[in-house]
Amino acid sequence: MLELKGVCTYYGNIQALWDVNLTINQGEIVTLVGANGAGKSTTLMSICGAAALRRGEILFEGQPIHTMRPDKIVRLGISQVPEGRLIFPDMTVQENLDLGAYLRRDTRNIARDQEMIFDMFPILAKRRTQAGGTLSGGEQQMLAISRALMAKPRLLLLDEPSLGLAPIIIRQIFDIIRQVNKEGMTVFLVEQNANQALRVANRGYVMETGRITLSGPSDELMANPEVRKAYLGV
Ligand SMILES: Nc1ncnc2c1ncn2[C@@H]1O[C@H](COP(=O)(O)OP(=O)(O)O)[C@@H](O)[C@H]1O
Ligand SMILES: [Mg+2]
C-alpha cells in the first residue's frame, strides 16, 4: 500500500533520514520505534508531504506521492495524527471533528461516521460543545485521533499517541487502534513506547539516527536481544 524507497530527507544542510526503505501492506498495523530524535516524525512528515525528499521516492498504491502537496495526499486517503495532539483549542469538540471531514466528498456518510466515533469515545459526545483546549490530555488525544478518522482515511498515521498519557488511557487508545484496524484501516504507528507498539503491531521497524537498523514481525523484534535491551528495558 505504501512504499518508501531510499528516502533521504534534510533540514537545510542537515540530513535527518538516510536511505529509508519501508513497506506497509494493506490491512496491517506497522510500527516504527526509536528513541527521541531518531527521525520518526520526519518519516511521517515525509509521507504527508510536509518535508521534502532530497532523494528517494514514496509510493502510495503504486503512485508517487513525494512530489504532491499535503492536501492532495490527504485526498488520496492518508491522514496523520501529529505528535503532541494538535487540536484547535478554541474550537469546540464538534468543530474539531467537522474540520476532519472537510475534504470528504461522501458527505452523506459523515453523520454516521461521527456516531461511530462517539460510540468509540463516549466522552467526546459528552464534551461535544466544550472547547478542545478544556479537555484533559487523554481526551485531546482521543479528539486528535477522531478528527483524523473523520477524514475516513485508508491509511492512518499516528505520531506517538501514547506520549505523556496515563497507562489506563494508553490502553484505551491502543484498543481503538486495534478496533479501527479490524474494521479495515491500515495503520502506521510511530512510538517511543516500543513495548506497547510492538504488542499491537504485526510488523515493526527500528530507527536509529535517521536509519532503519532492524525490521521484522513484531514477535521476532520483541524476542531480539538488542531490542529487548535498548527499547524494552529487559
Ligand atoms: N524543523 C527542524 N529543523 C532542524 N532539525 C530538525 C527539525 N525537526 C527535527 N529535526 C532534527 O531531525 C532529527 C530527527 O527528528 P525527529 O524526526 O523529530 O525525531 P523523532 O520523531 O524520532 O523524535 C533530530 O536530530 C532533530 O533534531
Ligand atoms: Mg517525533
Sign of the CA dihedral with 162 first, then 181, 80, and 128 last: negative
198-201 own/partner pairs: CB under 8 Å, 24+ apart: 198/31, 198/33, 198/222, 198/232, 199/174, 200/29, 200/31, 200/174, 201/28, 201/29, 201/30, 201/31
Pocket test for ligand 1, best of 17, 42, 83 (most atoms within 8 A of CB): 42
User: Across the strands, what pairs with 29?
Assistant: 187
Supply the pLDDT for residue 147.
Answer: 94
Pocket test for ligand 1, best of 4, 7, 11 (most atoms within 8 A of CB): 11
For the whole model, what pTM was predicted?
0.93
Proximal ligand: closest to the CA of 33: 1
**Domain-terminating residue out of 152, 174, 207:** 152
Closest ligand 1 atom number to CA of residue 44: 17
**Closest by CA position to 97, among listed 122, 126, 128, 57:** 128
Specify the 3-state DSSP secondary structure of 83: coil
Query: Judging by beta carbons within 10 Å of its beta carbon (0-12, 13-18, 19+), is residue 7 exposed, middle or buried?
Result: buried
**Closest by CA position to 29, among listed 189, 176, 144:** 189
User: 65: domain range?
Assistant: 1-77+157-234
Task: Specify whether 73 is located in the same domain as 93.
Answer: no
Supply the pLDDT for residue 104.
Answer: 81
Task: Specify whether 148 is located in the same domain as 161.
Answer: no
**Domain-terminating residue out of 130, 152, 174:** 152
**Domain-terminating residue out of 101, 127, 152:** 152
Supply the pLDDT for residue 5.
Answer: 98
Task: Specify whether 53 is located in the same domain as 97.
Answer: no
- d(C-alpha 99, C-alpha 79), whole Å: 13
Q: How far is the CA of 98 from the centre of ligand 1 (A)?
A: 31
Supply the pLDDT for residue 84.
Answer: 80
Q: How far is the CA of 40 from the centre of ligand 2 (A)?
A: 5
- Kindly list the protein residues that place their beta carbon closer than 5 angstroms to ligand 2, a single-atom ion: 40-41, 83
Task: Specify whether 89 is located in the same domain as 134.
Answer: yes
Task: Identify the residue whose cell numbers are 499516528.
Answer: 158
Task: Specify whether 179 is located in the same domain as 72.
Answer: yes
Task: Specify whether 70 is located in the same domain as 170.
Answer: yes
Alpha carbon nearest to ligand 1 atom 1, residue: 11
Supply the pLDDT for residue 127.
Answer: 96
Task: Specify whether 172 is located in the same domain as 113.
Answer: no
Closest ligand 1 atom number to CA of residue 159: 21
- The residues lining ligand 1, judged by C-beta closer than 6 Å to any ligand atom, are 11, 14, 16, 34, 36-42
**Closest by CA position to 170, among listed 148, 142, 146:** 142
Domain count, the chain: 2
Task: Specify whether 94 is located in the same domain as 191.
Answer: no
Q: How many CB atoms lie within 10 A of CB 175?
A: 12
Q: How far is the CA of 42 from the centre of ligand 1 (A)?
A: 6
Proximal ligand: closest to the CA of 50: 1
Task: Specify whether 44 is located in the same domain as 116.
Answer: no
How many angstroms from the chain centroid is the CA of residue 156?
Answer: 5
What are the per-10-residue average pLDDT scores of the chain (234 residues)? 98 96 98 96 96 95 96 93 88 94 84 91 95 94 93 95 91 93 96 94 97 97 92 80
As a whole number of Å, the end-to-end CA separation of the chain is: 34
Pairing of β 53-60 and β 155-159: unpaired
Task: Specify whether 57 is located in the same domain as 93.
Answer: no
Supply the pLDDT for residue 57.
Answer: 97
Grid cell locating 3? 512504499
Task: Specify whether 96 is located in the same domain as 185.
Answer: no
Alpha carbon nearest to ligand 1 atom 5, residue: 11
CATH number for 73 = 3.40.50.300
Q: Which amino acid is at 220?
A: E
Task: Specify whether 11 is located in the same domain as 42.
Answer: yes
Proximal ligand: closest to the CA of 13: 1
**Exposure of 231 in the CB half-sphere (CA atoms within 13 A):** 29
